[in-house]
Amino acid sequence: MKYVDEYRGEAEAQRFVRAIHDTVTRPWTLMEVCGGQTHTLIKFGIDAMLPKQVTLVHGPGCPVCVTPLELIDKAIAIARRPEVIFTSFGDMLRVPGSSTDLLSVKAGGGDVRMVYSPLDAVKLAQKHLDRQVVFFAVGFETTAPANAMAVWQAKQLGLDNFSILCSHVLVPPAMEAILGSPDSLVQGFLAAGHVCAIMGYWEYEPIAARYRVPIVVTGFEPLDLLQGIYMTLRALEEGRWGVENQYARAVTRDGNQAAQRLVGQVFATGDRQWRGIGLIPNSGYRLRPEYARYDAEQRFEVAGIAAQESPLCIAGQIMQGLKKPHQCSAFATLCTPERPLGAPMVSSEGACAAYYAYHRTAVDVPV
């Protein structure tokens, strides 16, 4: 299949694997920022093909995983209201809140619907003018333009029955938080290619310079990742830092300007809580005051809801790269995809779920 098979060739993959083995002379720790990259690495067995000196840690780039527990509780409270049609991307539906998840709200009679695009939620609002349609606007810079477009369209259409529960987070502040942590082990980054397709990569240049790390903008196919890893390792071995772009077929330095303009029109940056990590200054988007009437938190008065994380879950340490999923005492025993204690076990992009699904032979844990 075009644009896929080219990036999944066995011979080319093996060539990169050999080049990586030839390049590495000492131990290095890299972080792939995005959950989609974690997924590819493990789904194709790439991590096991790398030299033992190379450690990959799985970054905080899974939107499902970093959405705070209390926001999920808010979503559940809104979804339970009889006048609400609650819409969401598929993988948010199973994320556990403090006591239940959105799929269970649906089982209990709530009108919870999976959509593939926030614009479909706007269409639902047009179709059901007597109901309140809420979209769970989760994600990184990648999903922000479509979510901004949904709000913008709702305003143009004069829809009073559409709102979003907004939990947008941004990659560069999270990378800075990781690099600024005294415990950080990360020496080089594979930056999230799709985030950079929207935002460009100029934002990463000062980070690379300040912390003297190589950052390679990397795609999501197996060959993308192998090449990104190779480029990062070569920079490390040669003592270079700075930003390089592996994913040039999709990413430019300046990104998608039209998308950025729309996002800037609808959203403003502000502080955000990250599940498992905590508050990171200026690390998220909230609706601008002129779009406040599309804010579901205000419309349904759920701002007061607070929540407590499971004390057993070490999601924060996993997403900062301090521990691997199988080093958690609850992994695959108390915490499974059926009974997840924390979000990284829920989303198929979550590091714990990826380890659980594809990796249990290697880490030797009970079935």
Instruction: List contacts with another protein (CB under 8 A).
Output: 1, 4, 8-10, 13-14, 36, 42-46, 48-49, 63-64, 87, 89-94, 103-104, 106-108, 113-116, 120, 138-140, 142-143, 194, 222-223, 336-339, 347-349, 356-361, 367
Cα first-last separation, the chain: 34
Please, which residue, 106 or 288, has the CB nearer to another protein?
106
Please, which residue, 172 or 214, has the CB nearer to another protein?
172
- Answer for the pair 64, 350: CB distance below 8 angstroms, yes or no: yes
Q: Is 115 left (phi over 0), alpha (psi -120 to 50) or beta?
A: beta
How far apart are CB 241 and another protein at their closest, in Å? 28
For 268, list phi and psi in degrees, rounded to 5: -125, 150
Please, which residue, 226 or 302, has the CB nearer to another protein?
226
Q: Which two tokens stand for residue 337?
A: 């995809």
How far apart are CB 115 and another protein at their closest, in Å? 5
Please, which residue, 26 or 52, has the CB nearer to another protein?
52
- Answer for the pair 351, 325: CB distance below 8 angstroms, yes or no: yes
How far apart are CB 13 and another protein at their closest, in Å? 4
Residue with tokens 């240049």: 205
How far apart are CB 211 and another protein at their closest, in Å? 26
The closest alpha carbon to 192, from 352, 32, 4, belongs to 32
Q: How many other C-beta atoms lie within 10 A of the C-beta of residue 22?
A: 10
Please, which residue, 63 or 173, has the CB nearer to another protein?
63
How far apart are CB 305 and another protein at their closest, in Å? 22
Please, which residue, 314 or 332, has the CB nearer to another protein?
332
How far apart are CB 340 and another protein at their closest, in Å? 10
Catalogue the E-assigned strands of the chain: 28-34, 54-61, 84-88, 111-114, 132-139, 162-169, 188-192, 214-218, 242-245, 267-274, 278-287
